[in-house]
Structure 1
Amino acid sequence: MILIDRFLSDEQDPKAVERVLGKLNDMLSTNEELIYMAVQKKPAVNLLPDCIAVSNKRIFYCEPVNFGITMNFKDISWKSIKEVSFKEEFFGSKFICVPQHGENIITEYIPKVQARKLYQAAYEQLESFREQQRLNEMEERRSSASPVTVNAVAEEPAVINEPPAYTPPAYIPPAPAPVEEAEDETTLKLRKLKTLYDKHLITQDEYDAKKADILASL
Structure 2
Amino acid sequence: MILIDRFLSDEQDPKAVEKVLGKLNDMLSANEELIYMAVQKRPAVNLLPTCIAVSNKRIFYCEPGNFGITMNFKDISWKTIKEISFKEEIFGSKFICVPTHGENIITEYIPKVQARKLYQAAHEQLAEFKEQQRQIELEERRSSTSPVTVNTIPEPKVVEEPVAFVPPAPVIPPAPVEEPEDETTIKLRKLKTLYDKQLITLEEYEAKKADVLDNF
Normalising by structure 2, report the TM-score: 0.71
Could you say which residue in structure 2 is the equivalent of 1:198?
none
| Deviation string, structure 1 residues 58-103 (Cα, Å, up to 9, x no partner) | 1100011122221110111111111110000000000001111111
- 1:134 is aligned to 2:134: yes
Could you say which residue in structure 2 is the equivalent of 1:200?
none
| Deviation string, structure 1 residues 1-22 (Cα, Å, up to 9, x no partner) | 1111111111111111110000
* Paired residue type of 1:24: L
| Deviation string, structure 1 residues 29-82 (Cα, Å, up to 9, x no partner) | 111111110001111111211100011111100011122221110111111111
Could you say which residue in structure 2 is the equivalent of 1:57?
57
Q: What value does the CA root-mean-square deviation take over the aligned residues?
A: 2.4
Q: 4+ runs of 1 displaced by more than 4 Å?
A: 152-168
Could you say which residue in structure 2 is the equivalent of 1:86?
86
Figure out how many residues of one structure are paired with residues of the other and give that number: 171
Could you say which residue in structure 2 is the equivalent of 1:21?
21
1:149 Cα shift? 2.0
SS at match of 2:124: helix
Structure possessing the higher radius of gyration over alpha carbons: 2
SS at match of 1:125: helix
1:105 Cα shift? 0.5
- 1:3 is aligned to 2:3: yes
Distance 1:40 1:121 in 2: 17
Normalising by structure 1, report the TM-score: 0.70
Counterparts of residues 52-201 of structure 1 (less than 5 Å): 52-145=52-145, 147-152=147-152, 154=154
* Paired residue type of 1:110: I
Pick which of 159-168 and 124-133 moved more: 159-168
Point out where structure 1 has 5 or more consecutive residues left out of the alignment.
171-218
Distance 1:155 1:103 in 2: 64
Distance 2:18 2:87 in 1: 27
Point out where structure 2 has 5 or more consecutive residues left out of the alignment.
171-216
* Paired residue type of 1:34: L
Distance 2:157 2:11 in 1: 86
